[in-house]
Amino acid sequence: MAGMTKPSSSSTPAIAIRDLVKRYAPAGTDEGKLALKGVSFDVPEGGIFGLLGPNGAGKSTLINILAGMVMKTSGSVDIWGFDIDRDTRNAKRSIGIVPQEIVFDPFFTPFEVLENQAGLYGITKALRRSEDLLRAVHLADKRNAYARTLSGGMKRRLLIAKALVHRPPVLVLDEPTAGVDVELRRQLWELVSELNREGATIVLTTHYLEEAEQLCDRIAIINHGELIANKPTREMVGMAREKIIVLTFDRDVTALPDHPGFVKCEVSGERVLEITYDKDRSNAGEILSAVQAQGFTIVDVTTREADLEDVFVSLTTEVRETA
């Protein structure tokens, strides 16, 4: 998969971003929207890296800079050790971009789409691997069908094959499972994992946070053009301070219990309460004791640990409130 050799040490990151700024401003002025505000982070080689953020956070701008479609205002970006300004050609050859939008000529067949893309990269016919790529994305049987006749999922797989034509060591997938059904999402997850096992470094953006939690080794979160978190996935999930305890009682709940340790207390059924508490300030035993002391008889208890969605909401809300 990783067909290019790094010009620098193999220990250097797959992507290195330093003080990246992008301001959309009219020519000759310093006014305008600041889409990226000095973002810096590394994408380690060989992993699956999640890039998350709300709509308008700056993710698309960053990806378009990596793709060479948007000019940065300042800062530096190295892809596979190649600076995107000083060595643009090699930087572009080191990365494959799978966009959100489905973009190819609907009147070409999948085989022709890949052959044309190979031609754009100057790959000679003897070195092209269109047949292999179609098999890899499970489209060999659609080799000669018009691309417009493919299902949405097939088109997404074809986009991935198209991005792999020039053997890039780094692959960026921008919302690859947006708008697809559960089964297709699972198939795409398997394909992404397989590409990673074969040596590709993957950068994944997604709004499906459980997808990022399952697939990614490391996650960065961008909000309002700023990097607000960048940690290994397990460490990121561990940042959540809140925990939920679900209590079932022997009779209907007519009045809610109260305790300073409660972050939130909600009725989720006739005899069921969901209590959210800050695990840095309380523990499950204290919560149960407080509820029982107020006359509630508990017949069942379950708990739910925080997940990436809890962390994401907490971090992006905190930034919004302090902005």
CATH of the domain at 269: 3.30.70.1560
Residue 322, phi then psi, degrees to nearest 5: -95, -5
Helix (H, G, I), strand (E, B) or coil at 130: helix
Rounded to whole angstroms, what are the CA distances from 179 to 45, 99, 100, 123, 146?
29, 14, 10, 33, 22
> Is residue 320 a part of any domain in this protein?
no
Q: What is the per-residue pLDDT for 4?
A: 66
One-letter identity of residue 40: S
With vertex at residue 314, the alpha carbon angle to CA 308 and CA 319, rounded to the nearest 5 degrees, is 125
Residue 10: inside a domain: no
* Whether residue 162 is found in the same domain as residue 268: no
Q: Does residue 209 share a domain with residue 62?
A: yes
pLDDT of the residue at 282: 85
Same domain (yes/no): 261, 169: no
Together in a domain, 119 and 182? yes
Number of structural domains in the chain: 2
Say which DSSP state 318 is in: H
Domain annotation covers residue 81? yes
Half-sphere exposure of 275 (CA within 13 A, CB side): 25
Whether residue 65 sits in one domain with residue 180:
yes
Low-confidence ranges of the chain (pLDDT < 50): 319-323
| Pair (189, 255) in one structural domain | no
Based on the fold, state whether residues 273 and 165 are members of the same structural domain.
Answer: no
Pairing of strands 242-249, 298-304: antiparallel
Closest alpha carbon to 143 in 190, 108, 183:
108
Whole domain around residue 262: which residue ranges? 242-305
For residues 30 and 146, membership in a common domain is answered with yes
Shared domain check, 222 and 180: yes
